[in-house]
Amino acid sequence: MQSRQTTRDGFAAGQGTTTAMTTIDFSRDEMESGRKLFAGEWRFVAAAANETSLPPMRGIEIAFAGRSNVGKSSLINALTGRKGLARVSRVPGRTQELIFFAGEGALRLVDMPGYGYAAAAKSRVAAWSAMIRAYLRGRATLARVYVLVDARRGLSATDEPMLDALEQAAVSHQIVLTKCDELDGAALSVRLTETTAALVRRPAAFPGVLATSARHGSGIAELRAAIARLVAERRKRPAPPQQ
């Protein structure tokens, strides 16, 4: 039997194996691959405010989407172990660009502009939608989009346009709960169950929900393992055409 690394996690402690941090299991080897994948140096590559300024397609991209303030930048910093790599903002709705980061290998991380900011002008929302749709449609190097959802809120109507866009563009996507340190074990368990159930209506979404806390580091090793698994699967496929 595979060892359940997740049970060593703070949130899972004392709750048995049915309420682990994630609904997915990873082997020890996958956890180690995940650690290695993110162990090296990371750097900023490019910021794109529109479709024409996107950097050339290289390697394997993993993007992070979600409403403003959900914790996208914090999660990228936690994954890479670099506090200041992606800027963390207390002011919602700031980042209106796709921001690309590269490590030492083929993997690239993309911090996507947040959505759901109530005060955003209609024209800005339209520009956002056009850019996101163009990016999702044309990006052969994009292996998956992780849609981040605040564990305190759960999935909401605000996330629907993003999930629709991912579905229409046929881009692999999965839900990651953020800020799980704000919930106790029982509430988190309920949220995981509820989110998994909500995804039944969205068969295009990758099954399984990952629970993370950038603040406490919980679930970060599992997310790295999930990305390592994805990168390994992607490598088995023929290379996408380069630009």
Ligand X SMILES: Nc1nc2c(ncn2[C@@H]2O[C@H](COP(=O)(O)OP(=O)(O)O)[C@@H](O)[C@H]2O)c(=O)[nH]1
Task: Measure the N-to-C terminal CA separation of the chain; round to a whole number of Å.
Answer: 44
Q: Pick one of Mg ion, ligand X, none as the site partner of residue 68 (Cβ within 5 to 8 A by kind).
A: ligand X
In the complex, which residue's CB is closest to Mg ion? 73
Nearer to Mg ion, 22 or 95 (CB): 95
Listed residue (57, 31, 82) closest to 73, CA to CA: 82
Rounded to whole angstroms, how far apart are CA atoms 140 and 226? 20
Question: By CB under 5 A, is residue 68 in contact with Mg ion?
Answer: no
User: Could you give the 3-state DSSP secondary structure of residue 174?
Assistant: strand
Given 6, 19, 73, 212, the residue binding Mg ion (CB under 5 A): 73
Nearer to ligand X, 54 or 149 (CB): 149
Q: How far is the CB of 77 from ligand X (least distance, A)?
A: 8
User: Could you give the 3-state DSSP secondary structure of residue 25?
Assistant: coil
Q: How far is the CB of 238 from ligand X (least distance, A)?
A: 34
Question: By CB under 5 A, is residue 77 in contact with Mg ion?
Answer: no
Nearer to Mg ion, 108 or 234 (CB): 108
Question: By CB under 5 A, is residue 95 in contact with Mg ion?
Answer: yes
* DSSP string of 37-61, one letter each residue: HHHS--EEEEEESSGGGPPPP-SEE
136-159 burial, b at 16+ Cβ within 10 Å, e below that, comes to beebebbbbbbbbbbbeebbeebb
Q: How far is the CB of 92 from Mg ion (least distance, A)?
A: 9
Quick one: which segment of 69-77, 117-125, 130-138, 200-208 binds ligand X (CB under 6 A)? 69-77
173 forms bridges with which residues in the sheet? 145
User: Could you list the residues that contact ligand X (CB under 6 A)?
Assistant: 66, 68-74, 88-90, 114, 178-179, 181-182, 213-215
